[in-house]
Amino acid sequence: MKPTPFHPRTSELLDSYDWNEWSGWLSANVYDLNPTHEYLAIRTSCGVFDTSPLYKYQIQGRDALKLINRVITQDVTRYAVGKSMYSPWCDDKGKIIDDGIVAWVDDNSFRMTTAEPTLFWLEDNAINLDVSIEDITEAYAIMAFQGPYSREVLKRLTKADVNGLKYFSLMDIELAGIPITLSRTGFTGDMGYELWVEPDKAVALWDAIFEVGQDYRIRPFGDYALDIARIEAGLLLAKVDFNSSTKVMYEHEKSTPLELGLSWAVKLGKDYFVGQKALIKDKKVGLKWNTVGLEVDLKSLESIYAKYGMPLSLPYRSWGEAVPVYSQGKLIGKATSGTWSPMLKKYIAIARIKPQYAKLGNQIEMEVTVDAERHNAKAKIVKMPFFNPSRKMS
C-alpha cells in the first residue's frame, strides 16, 4: 500500500497501528484507540481527515460543461464558476454508478472527486466532445478540515475572505504562504472545509494548521469517527449503503438515486444525461425502495438484553453489514449502516425499505443479535439527516 503525502504526519500521530486500505493507499481507522474523542473533535472543536486517496479528475475544454452535464444527474447549468455540487451518476438503466463532488473551477474547467476509478466512464461519454480528461489523483493531496472551529483556524492563517466563502463554494488562496484550493465541503455534516494542496507542500500545510489548531484542540481523525459523523449527517457511503452498478453482478444489488433518497440531486427535467429515460420511467411507475432514517427504540432493545440478564449494549462503533428490517414480522427491507449517535444519544440507522412502510413515524422492527440469537428491536422511521446543525451552512 502507498503512503499519502500526509503520511509523515499521520503515521507519527497514529498510536493505534490501525490502518486500512483505501484505493491502494494507507488510511487511518483511528489514531488513539478511542474514536469518540475524534468524533467529538468534529462536532465540538476541529479535526483533520486525510482524504487524499479520493480519485480526482480534471475535465477541461470547450465541451467540459457538456460532458459533465451528460454524466451527472445534477444540472450544472444552475451553478457557476467557483461553486461545487454533490451529484450521483448512473448507467443507462438509471442505476447508480458512484457519487462525488463536481467543482466548477474555471470557465471551461471542472474538477471531480469520486470513490471509484472513473476515467474510463468519463472518456466513454466524451466521444465527439472537445474535452480533455486527466486523472489528477496523485497531483493533489486533500485534507478535510472539519468542525465548528475550522473557520477560526483558517482565518488566522490567511488574509483571504474565509467568512465570505459560502457552503459548496471554492476559491484559490494562500494559507500560511502555501497555495491551496479551499472548498467549503465535507462528509461530516458539520461546518468544514476541504483543502487541495500539491503533494510536496502537504506536510507544511499540515504543520501550519496544527500549530494554530492547538489553540482549538485540533485532532486528526480516522474512518471510525468519520463514519459516525456521516451517518448522523444522513450521507450514504458507497459499498455500504449502495453498490456501484458496475461492480455488482445482479440487478437486485443495484439501486437508483431516487431509491436512495437522492431525488433532490436528480434533475429529471434537464437536458439529456445518462440514465435519464430510465429514471423518468421509474418515477412514473413508482419506486421499489425508499431510503429512510431509523431510530431504534432503546427500551425495546434494553428488554431484549434483559432476557439474558445483561445491561443494554450499544454500537459505539458504526456498523455497515446490512441487517433485515421487518414490519409486524414481515420482511420489508434492510438497514445498511447504523451507529450510536453520541450527539443525539440515540441509536440511528440508514435503511432501504418498501415505500408503503416509509411514512415518518411508522413503527417497524430491526433485527439485532444477542449471544448469536436473533431478535427484533422496535424502531421508528425518522427524518434524515439525523443531525443537522445550522453552522453547517452558516
* Alpha helices in the chain, H assignment, sequence order: 7-13, 35-44, 64-71, 119-125, 150-155, 202-213, 223-232, 276-285, 298-306
Cβ 115 to another protein, closest distance in Å? 31
> CB of residue 387 vs another protein: minimum separation in angstroms?
9
User: Among residues 143 and 153, whose Cβ is nearest to another protein?
Assistant: 153
Grid coordinates 469518540 are at which residue? Answer: 36
37 touches another protein by CB under 8 A: yes
Q: 57 and 72 in contact (C-beta within 8 Å)? A: no
C-beta of 44: minimal distance to another protein in Å? 6
Work out whether 294 is an interface residue with another protein (CB under 8 A). no
Q: Give the residue with the Cβ less far from another protein, 116 or 152.
A: 152
* CA-to-CA dists, residue 302 to 95, 306, 311, 317, angstroms: 39, 6, 7, 18
Terminus-to-terminus CA distance in the chain, angstroms? Answer: 39
Eight-class DSSP state of 78: G
Selected from 1, 3, 21, 33, the binder of another protein by CB under 8 A is 33
Q: Which one among 21, 106, 215, 271 touches another protein, defined by CB under 8 A?
A: 215
- Smallest distance, another protein to C-beta of residue 336, A: 22
Cα dihedral sign for 171, 174, 180, 184? negative
Which residue among 4, 29, 45, 255 contacts another protein (CB under 8 A)?
45
Minimal distance in Å, beta carbon 93 to another protein?
42
Q: Interior CA angle at 65 toward 62 and 69, to 5°?
A: 145
* Residue 327 to residue 316: CA distance in whole angstroms: 26
| Sole binder of another protein in the list 139, 312, 331, 360 (CB under 8 A) | 312
Taking CB under 8 A as the criterion, the residue among 23, 36, 263, 362 binding another protein is 36
Question: CA 70, CA 137: separation in Å to the nearest integer?
Answer: 22
Among 344, 356, 359, 394, interactor with another protein by CB under 8 A: 344
343 belongs to the binding site for another protein (CB under 8 A): yes
Q: Which is nearer to another protein, 209 or 240 (CB)?
A: 209
Nearer to another protein, 324 or 389 (CB): 389
Put the strands of the sheet holding 132-135 in their side by side order.
84-90, 96-106, 109-114, 55-60, 132-135
Per CB under 8 A, the segment of 70-78, 84-92, 215-223, 233-241 that binds another protein is 215-223
Applying CB under 8 A, which part among 37-45, 130-138, 196-204, 374-382 lies near another protein? Answer: 37-45
CA distance linking residue 269 with residue 67, whole number of Å: 17
* 46-50/218-220 β-pairing: parallel
- Which residue in the set 11, 34, 109, 246 belongs to the binding site for another protein (CB under 8 A)? 34
Residue 32: CB minimum distance to another protein, A: 6
Counting residues that bind another protein (by CB under 8 A) gives: 26
Radius of gyration of the chain (CA): 21
60: three-class secondary structure by DSSP: strand
- Of residues 143 through 202, those in contact with another protein by CB under 8 A are 149, 152
Residue that the C-alpha cell 445483561 belongs to: 310
* For the chain, the helix, strand and coil percentages under 3-state DSSP, each to the nearest 5: 25, 35, 40
Among 265, 268, 278, 298, binds another protein (CB under 8 A): 298
Which spans of this chain sit near another protein (rule: CB under 8 A)? 32-34, 36-37, 40, 44-45, 149, 152, 214-217, 298, 309, 311-312, 314, 316, 340, 342-346
